[in-house]
């Protein structure tokens, strides 16, 4: 009897270990029903976007976004609905028609309220010693043209430059794209 309990416990623990390690191995390889990778960053297409508690207009609106271009992260797909997460960590469901593949980001949202002299530098070249073109306050929305894994070419208002990828929310660490 004792050996049966031991075998069952070992089998269960091995199952839990496999389940715990699966997401780590699957990162970067996971694809949603659309065939696109999960998670991934997109932006809000419309000025007014309702976030719902479930994937249908039958579900209540939990949040209303009032600004287009805001970056969000798609974390799940169900038919034509996308479960998204915003820079503040708020999650909910949005219809895919209200999302755009245009890449945008938010400058260091985790630094909001940390003081008057906290900025993200927009630089002339993708180097930490390059000239500063603009100082972005935490929470400022920018457009991203490309990222090389360390730096992203970004546009803030009429100024274009490079921002350190680790200082924005809207591109994954090490992610490169054009």
Nearest partner of 92 among 60, 66, 67, judged by Cα: 60
The pLDDT of residue 111 is: 87
Q: Report d(CA 114, CA 68) in Å as an integer.
A: 26
Tens-place pLDDT, residues 71-130 = 999 999 999 999 999 999 999 999 999 999 999 999 999 988 887 889 999 999 999 999
CA-to-CA distance for 135 and 119, rounded, in angstroms?
6
pLDDT on residue 8: 32
Q: H helices of the chain, where?
A: 2-26
At 2-52, the pLDDT tens digits run: 333 333 333 333 333 333 333 333 345 699 989 999 999 999 999 999 999
- pTM (predicted TM-score): 0.81
pLDDT of residue 117: 85
pLDDT of residue 17: 32
Given a cut of 70, whether residue 158 has pLDDT beyond it is yes
Average pLDDT rounded to a whole number, residues 54-74: 98
Give the per-residue pLDDT at 6.
33
CATH superfamily of 105-177: SH3 Domains (2.30.30.40)
Superfamily of domain 40-102: SH3 Domains (2.30.30.40)
Domain chopping of the chain, boundaries? 40-102, 105-177
Q: What pLDDT is stored for residue 112 in this prediction?
A: 86
pLDDT at 7: 36
Using alpha carbons only, how large is the chain's radius of gyration in Å? 20
Check if 40-102 and 105-177 are the same fold: yes
For residue 101, how many C-alpha atoms fall within 13 Å in the half-sphere facing its CB? 5
């Amino acid at each position: 009897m004792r050996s049966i309990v031991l075998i069952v416990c070992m089998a269960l623990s091995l199952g839990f270990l496999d389940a715990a390690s699966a997401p780590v191995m699957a990162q970067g390889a996971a694809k949603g029903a659309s065939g696109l990778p999960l998670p991934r960053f997109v932006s809000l297409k419309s000025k007014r976007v309702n976030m719902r508690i479930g994937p249908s207009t039958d579900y209540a609106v939990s949040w209303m976004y009032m600004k287009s271009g805001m970056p969000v992260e798609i974390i799940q797909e169900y038919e034509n609905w996308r479960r998204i997460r915003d820079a503040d960590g708020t999650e909910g469901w949005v219809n895919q028609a209200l999302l755009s593949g245009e890449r945008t980001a938010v400058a260091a949202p985790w630094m909001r309220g940390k003081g008057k002299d906290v900025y993200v530098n927009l630089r002339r070249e993708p180097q930490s010693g390059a000239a500063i073109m603009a100082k972005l306050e935490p929470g400022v929305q920018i457009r991203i043209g490309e990222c090389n894994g360390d730096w992203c070419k970004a546009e803030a208002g009429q100024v274009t430059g490079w921002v350190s990828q680790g200082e924005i929310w809207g591109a994954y660490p090490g992610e490169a794209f054009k």
